[in-house]
Amino acid sequence: MLYRHLDDLRDRARQRLEAEWRSPGGTRQELSQRDSAAGHHADRLARYDAVETGLCFGRIDPLDGGPLRIGRIGIHDHDADEPLLVDWRAPAARPFYLATAVTPHGITRRRHIRTRGRTVTGLDEEIFGARPPGDEPPVGEAALIAALDEHRTGRMRDIVETIQAEQDRVIRMPAGGVLVVQGGPGTGKTAVALHRAAYLLYTHREQLGARGVLIVGPNPTFLRYVSQVLPSLAETGVLLATPAELLPGVEVSGSEPAEVAEIKGRAEMLTFLADGLRGRQRVPDEPIEIVVDRHVLRLDRHDCEPVRRRARESGRRHNPARPIVTAGILDVLAAQVAERIGADPFWDDPLGEDDAPGVPNVLDEADLADLRTDLADHPAVLAVLDELWPVLTPEQFLTGLYASTDRAGLRRAPGGGWTAADVPLLEEAAELLGEDDRAERARAARSAQRRLDYAQGVIDVMHGSRATDEAVLNVTDILDAEELAGRYATREALSAAERGATDRHWAFGHVIVDEAQEISPMAWRMLMRRCPSRSMTVVGDLAQGGTLGGPRSWDEVLSPYVADRWRLAALTVSYRTPAEIMAYAGRMLADADPPIELPHPVRSTGAEPREEHGDLTRLAELVAAEPDGLAVIVPAGRLAEVAAALPGLSRDIEDPAVLLTATQAKGLEFDAVLLVDPEVIRAESPRGSGDLYVALTRATRRLTVLRTGGGAECAGGRH
């Protein structure tokens, strides 16, 4: 029955979408409303397609009232005026996630429904009765353990069927302000963040639909891993990006040592950039001579200093202030020309614009304006203006700044690509430089005129084929060129997520930052610009931080932007990492500074981690012995060596066996992990304990540790 209603909803959405696109013309407002409606129907159609699998996954029986089926979307029977399926995000569905034997939240029964396609494959049912406090299993224990024991693939699955009570509380917290979700490995931080995005889009559909939601992840591998979660929850209007992808038009292709990236990420780079820009706003130390058609004009520090001061004090950014400098310098030069004209009874035109033998020695304001115009186009004058106050792109400015600095590590190799750490600096440079948008406005006007001309051509063609019977309604009777051009422009409009991907000034309605402990201070500035409302969810684990100079506390991260106005929610239960592996990680990291507080595992597999010794030949044997779902995690310094020795290992996380560094493995999970030289991973960085913590806790079933002799041996998990 549910799928019959879903098919009906899908058919109606498709019919309405087709009807909107076939509808005749109207006023510009009517056309805009129709295109908006078409977008709405297209979105609904995509959502209906996305929930085909796992449409209904649960049922609760309240003490009073009939049973409620819980699903990925809500479906209402309008004939009977009752819900056939309750959206998992609706308040009525909360008892499904919160009910326990001690606190049943008004329900007597909970049922978890397992399906494959449209076929029910299994049921788990709980009858709520008395149970001693403190002796309660996880919510939906049978369904949860079954989900945790499933084979992992290269894509994260949603947890909508098995959300636990502490996760549900975080998912449904209010959208306003900054919420920090702190949790150790396997606590479901990422899943909670993604489901929170779906919940907020459901609860604040109008607001967030217009502004969009941005989800920031640590690397492209991570984003590919989580990319299917929100579509499976019937939400597609979200932009997923790494910090390096947030500046449109900048492609990251370079790499650099971690020490250099850490320097570029420091907040003190603000001063470095500001000082560098002031250095490009020059006045001459020695007089500059400008030859204009055989005549010599002069500029000295006395002439230029007041001009520079006016530009700096104007409140404009660097590039928009260039016209102030241009006007001031042209005034100085034009005055010199006027002074010379006034000194001679007859004076050859120095700019070569007049073939007459002489020019009268009296100049009015119009004459001075003409002089300034002529000087403004002269190549020698333009060259001086570019020297004193150049118009710069962020790329030009940062390239020049790197080339001129004596700061260790910042010099950029000739032809080297931009790195991830450069992107926040390029954006900061864009903020300092500003944009002279006169050219952009002119381009927009030309584009609008082209659309209007095209629309008029369409109207003319259609009018030319008009029937001879004047009573027949023609396109020109209901639609003019301006209205058609407006409709064409409307249909070209981008979604909120698409706008956010192409416009660095776009302000998102909500921003979610995963693995937030890895974000540098400069990158945080970039993220905060994307969310002026400060409606954010910040997800991470300080103990897993591997970035040099990473934060020691969330207050250190957030206080520059919101002072103490942020909330902390802790996830304390590990659902992914078995107790045996978590205990092993605890022994390996017992001497970590600061100490690591491990989450509490919810399950045990009985499989203790194995330790092996050998070379790459032994590694190949261990890889061959593992079934699908394997990650080989190696020290960054040995990645190329291992990749060459074991060419069968892939870098694609959807393949059966994948080769990664600890940094690349952040946020991912695998059935089995083969960890090579953990001591080397720890020694590679001053914050190596965080990287090792990540590597040790990626497995859901089996962990094997291979020591090849490439690093200091340790006893009992300690150095």
- What is the pLDDT at residue 717? 39
Residue 128 reports pLDDT greater than 90: no
With cut-offs at 50, 70 and 90, classify the pLDDT of residue 416: confident
Place of tokens 């780079």: 269
Name which residue leads in pLDDT, 4 or 185.
Answer: 185
- What is the pLDDT at residue 458? 56
What is the C-alpha separation between 623 and 614, in angstroms, rounded? Answer: 13
With cut-offs at 50, 70 and 90, classify the pLDDT of residue 492: very low
- What is the pLDDT at residue 218? 92
Contacts of 622 (CB under 8 A, 6+ apart): 612, 674, 704, 706
CA distances from 679 to 189, 245, 264, 675, 700 (A): 27, 33, 28, 10, 22
What is the C-alpha separation between 6 and 13, in angstroms, rounded? Answer: 11
Name which residue leads in pLDDT, 440 or 449.
Answer: 449
Amino acid at 603: R
CA distances from 651 to 103, 217, 328, 629 (A): 47, 18, 58, 13
Q: β-strand 670-676 against 630-634: which pairing, if any?
A: parallel
Amino acid at 30: E
Residue 587 reports pLDDT greater than 80: yes
The count of other CB atoms within 10 Å of the CB of residue 57 is: 20
Residue 484 reports pLDDT greater than 60: no
Range scoring the smallest mean pLDDT among 99-108, 558-567, 627-636: 99-108
As a whole number, mean pLDDT of residues 355-383 equals 77
With cut-offs at 50, 70 and 90, classify the pLDDT of residue 62: very high
With cut-offs at 50, 70 and 90, classify the pLDDT of residue 345: very low
CA distances from 151 to 124, 466, 577, 704 (A): 20, 65, 14, 18
Range scoring the smallest mean pLDDT among 147-151, 485-489, 618-622, 638-642: 485-489
What is the C-alpha separation between 681 and 706, in angstroms, rounded? Answer: 12
Name which residue leads in pLDDT, 324 or 364.
Answer: 324
- What is the pLDDT at residue 146? 80
With cut-offs at 50, 70 and 90, classify the pLDDT of residue 466: very low
With cut-offs at 50, 70 and 90, classify the pLDDT of residue 718: very low
Contact 554, 566 (CB under 8 A): yes
Q: β-strand 566-571 against 288-292: which pairing, if any?
A: unpaired
What is the C-alpha separation between 527 and 420, in angstroms, rounded? Answer: 14
- What is the pLDDT at residue 81? 72
Residue 151 is encoded by which pair of tokens?
């084979």
On average, the pLDDT of the chain sits at: 85
- What is the pLDDT at residue 711? 47
Residue-wise pLDDT for 208-225, tens only, equals: 988 999 999 999 999 999
**Each residue of 617-639: b (16+ CB within 10 Å) or e?**
eebbebbeebeebbbbbbbbebe
Range scoring the smallest mean pLDDT among 157-161, 444-448, 534-538: 444-448
Range scoring the smallest mean pLDDT among 37-41, 115-119, 713-717: 713-717
With cut-offs at 50, 70 and 90, classify the pLDDT of residue 281: very high
Name which residue leads in pLDDT, 30 or 393.
Answer: 393
- What is the pLDDT at residue 414? 67
As a whole number, mean pLDDT of residues 16-35 equals 64
What is the C-alpha separation between 291 and 116, in angstroms, rounded? Answer: 82
The DSSP string of 91-109 is GGGHHHHH--SS--TTEEE
- By CB neighbour count within 10 A (0-12 exposed, 13-18 middle, 19+ buried), where does 269 fall? buried
The candidate with the shortest Cα–Cα distance to 181, out of 665, 528, 514, is 514
Name which residue leads in pLDDT, 534 or 405.
Answer: 534
Helix axes 2-22, 28-50, angle to 10 degrees: 150
Name which residue leads in pLDDT, 456 or 570.
Answer: 570
What is the C-alpha separation between 509 and 507, in angstroms, rounded? Answer: 7
As a whole number, mean pLDDT of residues 537-565 equals 92
Residue 343 reports pLDDT greater than 60: no
CA distances from 443 to 212, 233, 456 (A): 27, 40, 20
Residue 31 reports pLDDT greater than 70: no
Name which residue leads in pLDDT, 559 or 82.
Answer: 559
What is the C-alpha separation between 264 and 199, in angstroms, rounded? Answer: 36
The candidate with the shortest Cα–Cα distance to 192, out of 534, 520, 604, 538, is 538
What is the C-alpha separation between 233 and 195, in angstroms, rounded? Answer: 8
The candidate with the shortest Cα–Cα distance to 1, out of 65, 113, 83, 64, is 83
